Amino acid sequence: MQKYLLAGAIALVPLAAVADPLPSWNVGDAKTRIVTFVESVVDPAADTYVDPGDRIAVFDNDGTLWAEQPVYFQFIFALDRLKEMAAADPAILTTDLLKAAAAGDMEAVAAAGTEGILEIVGVTHAGISTDDFKAEVRAWLDTARHPATGMAYDRMIYQPMLELLSYLRDEGFRTFIVSGGGIDFIRVFSQEAYNIPPEQVVGSSGNARYEVVDGTPTVLKEEGIFFLDDKAGKPVAIETRFGKRPILAAGNSDGDFEMLEWTTAGEGPRFGLVVHHTDAQREFAYDRDSAVGKLSRGLDEAEARGWLLVDMKNDWATIWPGGR
Amino acid sequence: MQKYLLAGAIALVPLAAVADPLPSWNVGDAKTRIVTFVESVVDPAADTYVDPGDRIAVFDNDGTLWAEQPVYFQFIFALDRLKEMAAADPAILTTDLLKAAAAGDMEAVAAAGTEGILEIVGVTHAGISTDDFKAEVRAWLDTARHPATGMAYDRMIYQPMLELLSYLRDEGFRTFIVSGGGIDFIRVFSQEAYNIPPEQVVGSSGNARYEVVDGTPTVLKEEGIFFLDDKAGKPVAIETRFGKRPILAAGNSDGDFEMLEWTTAGEGPRFGLVVHHTDAQREFAYDRDSAVGKLSRGLDEAEARGWLLVDMKNDWATIWPGGR
């Protein structure tokens, strides 16, 4: 092994404002505020300068980086997997809800509420090693298509947010996902979709245990929620994960309220961003009355708290990668 | 803001083998095996090459990076804090064990075993915000001294391990702590002692809740263990935290066995390292019969599993920073 020293003349060539880091953001207040904030924390001469080690940006996933209608994509995966598991072994359908869900009775599923979701997720996300589970998710993403758009779920990601992630990384930020979704689910596509590696995904997790199975060390997913990374759970997850506060947080629902509150209450420059789904034509329009991604308190308080409310319809020139 | 391009001539100047990355390691098998492993994973031409993103190294803390005798330093902190809390408000001593501990009756504390430790840690690590707790730990580290060495606890760190951490980072590894100790405790000194930032510390954690206290968003530490990062808990913590396996793990006790097993069972080049405390003169000598940092199974199986057993007395030229 050899080591090398950088030597010789290094010339610094200004690129000036040649490249727009956020081409899918329309010119306007939202774009200006983002760029102004980023420039303020990377300028060593400014008293708002933030050390690269502290340039941590956290992003919710469902509804912030990818779509979440008509229902969280992970739940669609759980329903598909339940049907597949039931086809192989009908005995797993031990309750009326599971039978209804496997039969595609979405009214019964909806009526069962959060408890019903957790029951279905419990059955479909347990009794399997993390490695095998990830392979199942990968196979599903490769074949399943969204009922309304016909797109692969991991292509229903927001081009303007991809540009924001990339822009922040170019400016020395580290970008993380802090999601109510399951870590083992998100980690399957985070690298390819967002350029966010598995170790930069924070999320909900189920119980798990370590066991040597037939000589092979294995981490097995078990029934029951270990940690629910939503609402007041998000600041706790952030504190547990980082031991320091991010300086930028982005979300889209009231499940992100506490994360935004915790992040923006820190000292020094802070940025809170809320994606408001206002585009019924190109994506979906919903806020206060939505069963998924409800945004009410955040909508009321964003302005007073200094959080940027992104108007998807007017602020985003394109929604999906490829230009629509 | 301006961007710059690197331009101009860059000459690569070989440093060859001028600098020994591990000067506190005596020449011998241990040092050779470490260097050989590292060189094998960073050489792009070798089929053992590992992508920088996967060069993750995890280190136990107590007994691996700093000392742990006569008892875990965090527990000494807990006892000191209990005495201080009791002096301010004797009513907190609600059990015989707490009264005995506050009075310095170490026999009673020892007799209470693990349950006793958890009771004392519970009282002294709860009912306080994470920020205030960290300030308490900092103040303690600045004043408390080890009973045998008279050294500050955060100076009782192993110089050879500091060199190993630094060497790995220079070779593109990211270094993490995966400790049975509490994350909020370790994070207070990890940056200064090991150059490991708070977000690269994984450890045990207590329950916590988020609350806006008098207008200030706060994460409050509560009684009860949320996650015990020891034994079979370590692989689970690693899987939850990274979603992939480290390629190097270092520990010193049977509490690290599963972490070493999980890490070294992965595909491709892997390295397991066990620090064996064999130096009664410069540090402490203990293994199978020690109440703290017991090493028995690891001692029996290290060789067969291909793990490097570091003989502190013979492999380390110095123990502490400064040269002793």
Query: Given this model, what pLDDT does residue A110 score?
Result: 87
Count the domains in chain B: 2
Which of A85, A108, A143 delimits the end of a domain? Answer: A143
Shared domain for A209 and A107, answered yes or no, is: no
Whether residue B199 and residue A239 make contact (CB cut-off 8 A), yes or no, is: no
**Global ipTM:** 0.91
For testing contact with chain B, the best of A49, A189, A210, A219 (most B CBs within 10 A): A210
* Pair A193, A86 in one domain: no
Give a three-class secondary structure readout of chain B: CCCEEEECCCEEEECCCCCCCCCCECCCHHHHHHHHHHHHHHCCCCCCCCCHHHCEEEECCECCCECCCCCCHHHHHHHHHHHHHHHHCHHHCCCHHHHHHHCCCHHHHHHCHHHHHHHHHHHHCCCEEHHHHHHHHHHHHHHCECCCCCCEHHHCECHHHHHHHHHHHHCCCEEEEEEEEEHHHHCCCHHHHHCCCHHHEEEEEEEEEEEEECCEEEEEEEEEEEECCCCCHHHHHHHHHHCCCCCEEEECCHHHHHHHHHHHCCCCCCEEEEEEEECCCCCCEECCCCCCCCCCHHHHHHHHHCCEEEEHHHHECCCCCCCC
Q: Considering the domain boundaries, does residue B17 fall inside one?
A: no
The answer to whether residues B196 and B176 touch, using CB atoms and an 8 Å cutoff, is yes
Domain assignment present for residue B20? The answer is no
B229 and B246 in a common domain? yes
A105 plus A253 within the same structural domain? no
B322 assigned to some structural domain: no
Clarify whether residues B289 and B201 are in a common domain.
yes
Domain match, B168 and B65 both: yes
Same domain (yes/no): A180, A86: no
Contact assignment for B11 to A13 by CB distance below 8 Å? no
Domain that holds residue B126: 73-143
What does each of the 324 residues of chain A score in pLDDT, given as a tens digit?
344 444 333 444 444 456 899 999 999 999 999 999 999 999 999 999 999 999 999 999 999 999 999 999 999 999 999 999 999 999 999 999 999 999 999 899 989 988 898 899 999 999 999 999 999 999 999 999 999 999 999 999 999 999 999 999 999 999 999 999 999 999 999 999 999 999 999 999 999 999 999 999 999 999 999 999 999 999 999 999 999 999 999 999 999 999 999 999 999 999 999 999 999 999 999 999 999 999 999 999 999 999 999 999 999 999 999 876
In a domain, B249, yes or no: yes
pLDDT in tens, chain B (324 residues): 344 444 333 444 444 455 899 999 999 999 999 999 999 999 999 999 999 999 999 999 999 999 999 999 999 999 999 999 999 999 999 999 999 999 999 899 989 988 898 899 999 999 999 999 999 999 999 999 999 999 999 999 999 999 999 999 999 999 999 999 999 999 999 999 999 999 999 999 999 999 999 999 999 999 999 999 999 999 999 999 999 999 999 999 999 999 999 999 999 999 999 999 999 999 999 999 999 999 999 999 999 999 999 999 999 999 999 876
User: Is the minimum CB–CB distance between A297 and chain B shorter than 8 Å?
Assistant: no
B131 close to A (CB below 8 A): no
pLDDT at B138: 98
- The answer on B127 and B84 residing in a single domain is yes
Tokens (6 digits) for A130: 């993390």
Identify whether A324 is part of a domain.
no
Whether B323 maps to a domain, the answer reads: no
The domain boundary residue, chosen from B118, B143, B168: B143
| Residue A62 and residue A80 in one domain | no
Same domain for B288 and B193, yes or no, is yes
Specify if B21 maps to a domain: no
Instruction: Output the six-digit token pair for A123.
Output: 């059955």
B47 and B82 in one domain? no
- Of A92, A116, A143, the position where a domain reaches its end is A143
In a domain, A97, yes or no: yes
Closest residue, chain B, to A199 (C-alpha): B242
Predicted pLDDT at B137: 98
Residues A134 and A271 reside in one and the same domain? no
Contact residues, B window 210-229, toward A, CB-based 8 Å cutoff: 210-212, 216-217, 219
Nearest to A243 among B199, B217, B262 (CB): B199
CATH number for the domain spanning A204: value is: 3.40.50.1000
In angstroms, the separation between the Cα of residue B280 and the nearest Cα of chain A is 35
Q: What is the pLDDT of residues A266-322, one digit of tens each?
A: 999 999 999 999 999 999 999 999 999 999 999 999 999 999 999 999 999 999 998
Q: pLDDT tens digit string along A63-98?
A: 999 999 999 999 999 999 999 999 999 999 999 999
Cα separation, A268 vs B290, in Å, equals 48
